[in-house]
Chain A
Amino acid sequence: MPAVNTASLPDIVFMLLFFFMVATVMRQNTLKIDNNLPFADQVEKLDKKDLVMYIYAGKPSSNYKQYGTEAKIQLNDNFADVNEIASFIAAERASKREELIPFLTTALKVDSDANMGLIGDIKQELRKVNALKINYTTKKGSVFGRD
């Protein structure tokens, strides 16, 4: 039986490699929470990546069980309290160019099992610091018929 010619194998592998290199976005934050986003179909795309501030929330993931099972907020790489949001927003604003500050959007990446009490608190805190543009980040898909 003749051996299969594998000369084109590197080419195929390189092709895949380039696809993944181009599609990869390195994560900015290491998540310490479960972040299973809900589904929605009336979504709009966030336009500029560098004009977005991310606030994560959800219950601590299995590696961080000692923090309990209640949904928590994560800012940057750490768990945070609701009243730390104001200083987080201030720090994010300070790191951006001044003329861009009015265009900053806050993206709320919240686990679908979290309850609205926490999100209400976050929203209240955002209103206090006048960060009014928010985006509920969701996956694209139909709302109904899943669980």
Chain B
Amino acid sequence: MAKRAAPEVNAGSMADIAFLLLIFFLVTTTIETDSGINRKLPPMEESDEDVIIKQKNIFTVLLNGKDQLLVEDNIMEPKDLRAAAKEFLDNGGDKSCDYCRGKKDPSSSDNPDKAIISLKNERETSYKQYIAVQNELVAAYNELRDARAQSLYGKSFTEMQANYKDVNWPGNKEKLKEKIDKIKLDYPQKLSEVQ
């Protein structure tokens, strides 16, 4: 029996089909953003006892309806906020904090554990400005934690956190977690928002 040659399929329109699909996916694609600033809201129940906090341990940040920033009763540009917050947190006024590099000014915060940043905004404040301020305050904490981690473990805090989340990281995760918790304890994030 004679072998019949299979007729060749014309692939000339393949490019057209592929283009069609390509254009469909191009149009429907939205690269979603899935990152942001994580925060924890305070629980609802009212505590009866008033906690007494010394005025010098509170760093007040006020944002008014015109997006102007008032820090510790002085007008400030948002770009200077990070440095000011770092100086306040790292002050170590009561000298109990041996790792603080601040000025040890007795009229500023006692130690990072006691230092509280209080953020207040008005209803008219724009969201953009609020996020900018939040970002700067979180950055101040992160920079202090980075410096602390660098001096203790020779690695930055952000790198340690990235390693902890990375599934392929070869090191010991339990030990890493301990280290991360220690740094977090050294510079606890105490950011309160006034309603």
Contact indicator B43/A107 (Cβ below 8 Å): no
Bound-state Cα–Cα, A116 to B150, Å: 37
Q: Is A124 an interface residue (CB 8 A)?
A: yes
Q: Is B51 an interface residue (CB 8 A)?
A: no
Main secondary structure of the interface of A (DSSP, over half): mixed
Contact of B79 (CB < 8 Å), options: A44, A52, A124, A144: A144
Chain A: number of interface residues, binned into ranges: 35 or more
Q: Is B52 an interface residue (CB 8 A)?
A: no
Bound-state Cα–Cα, A130 to B28, Å: 36
Bound-state Cα–Cα, A45 to B22, Å: 29
* Contact A16 B22, CB 8 Å, known A38-B128, A112-B131, A117-B124: yes
Q: Is A101 an interface residue (CB 8 A)?
A: no
Q: Is B174 an interface residue (CB 8 A)?
A: no
Contact indicator A23/B22 (Cβ below 8 Å): no
| Residues of the A chain whose Cβ atoms lie less than 8 Å from the Cβ of B78 | 143-144
Cβ-closest chain B residue relative to A22: B25
* Contact A17 B123, CB 8 Å, known A132-B43, A137-B33: no
Q: How many positions in chain B have a CB within 8 Å of any CB in the partner chain?
A: 48
* Contact A27 B30, CB 8 Å, known A116-B130, A132-B40, A143-B136: yes
Contact indicator A113/B41 (Cβ below 8 Å): no
Contact of B126 (CB < 8 Å), options: A112, A135, A138: A112
Bound-state Cα–Cα, A19 to B138, Å: 35
* CB neighbors of A among B10-47 (8 A): 11, 14-15, 18-19, 21-22, 25-26, 28-44
Q: Is A47 an interface residue (CB 8 A)?
A: yes
Q: Is B121 an interface residue (CB 8 A)?
A: yes
Q: Is B68 an interface residue (CB 8 A)?
A: no
Cβ-closest chain A residue relative to B18: A13
Q: Which 7 A-B pairs have the closest CB atoms?
A: A117-B123, A20-B25, A112-B128, A137-B36, A40-B135, A116-B125, A43-B35
Partner-B contacts on A (CB < 8 A):
6, 9-10, 13-14, 16-17, 20-21, 23-27, 37-47, 49, 52, 105, 107, 110-117, 119-120, 123-124, 126-128, 130-140, 143-144
